Structure 1
């Protein structure tokens, strides 16, 4: 996937994950969360046996968004434990 596609998918996935989890991030944070989410989502999808084409498509956005939500959930769990 080209770097521009990674950026666009990352921003979209990060934005959707932000809205689903009720957080409030900026554009750069959404990008980072979305790209990390793409790795997490890809790892989860491969563990479950899913195969999909890489690139800028709906499947990539869905996988990256699910990964970003999982990443934000784990991050929230870690931050919640530190706050106790």
Structure 2
């Protein structure tokens, strides 16, 4: 997600978060809370997805290697 999109979504998120938490604040504070939360959450989520993508690649590579070893032992090594 781009930073501009996170800012736009952050304004709405700030409004919803202050209502859910029962906080009475002015518009500027509500927007600031939402924008900061969206930026932090967006960057953390992007980092987590990157790490999980790398882990998923490692798991896929290990499973592929295991499958090839099994095929080699079952059909070729006879």
- Smaller-chain TM-score range? 0.3 to 0.5
TM-score, normalised by the number of residues in structure 2? 0.48
Asked which structure has the greater CA Rg, the reply is 2
TM-score, normalised by the number of residues in structure 1? 0.45
More relative contact order, 1 or 2 (CA 8 Å, 6+ apart): 1
